[in-house]
Amino acid sequence: MPGVCFFCGNNLNLSPEVGRREECPKCHSDVHVCKNCHFYDRNSYNECREPQAEPVKEKDRSNFCDYFQLSGKSGSTSGSSKEDLKAKAEALFKNLGKK
């Protein structure tokens, strides 16, 4: 699975099932971390667009999140692509409906 290390920007080519102890071959940072995840978004509640994910305090340390999907974006801090904007809007309206 192609991805990018949040810490050094190294291109990662890993299997789809990224293990909790997987490390970047260049900088040896943990790979299974929020900041490398497709759902990571600093502007979302708990900095995650996946509403069912448990909150994680340390976003740059390995964790046990079952929803982790390796992101192809460096830093994965949420861009302004159509996909990102649509996901934000859907998350917003989904959360409003729960009140």
Model confidence over 39-62: pLDDT tens digits? Answer: 999 999 999 999 999 999 999 999
Alpha-carbon distance of 60 to 51, in angstroms, equals 19
Cβ contacts of 22-29, under 8 Å, gap ≥ 24: 29/5, 29/60
Model confidence over 17-27: pLDDT tens digits? Answer: 899 999 999 99
Per-residue pLDDT, 80: 52
Domain residue ranges in the chain: 1-99
Model confidence over 63-74: pLDDT tens digits? Answer: 999 999 999 876
Q: Are 72 and 99 in contact (CB under 8 A)?
A: no
Average pLDDT over residues 7-13: 93
At 36, which amino acid appears? N
Which residues are CB-contacts of 39 (< 8 A; sequence separation ≥ 6)? 48, 49, 50, 53, 67, 68, 69
Per-residue pLDDT, 22: 94
Position 79 pLDDT exceeds 50: no
Per-residue pLDDT, 72: 82
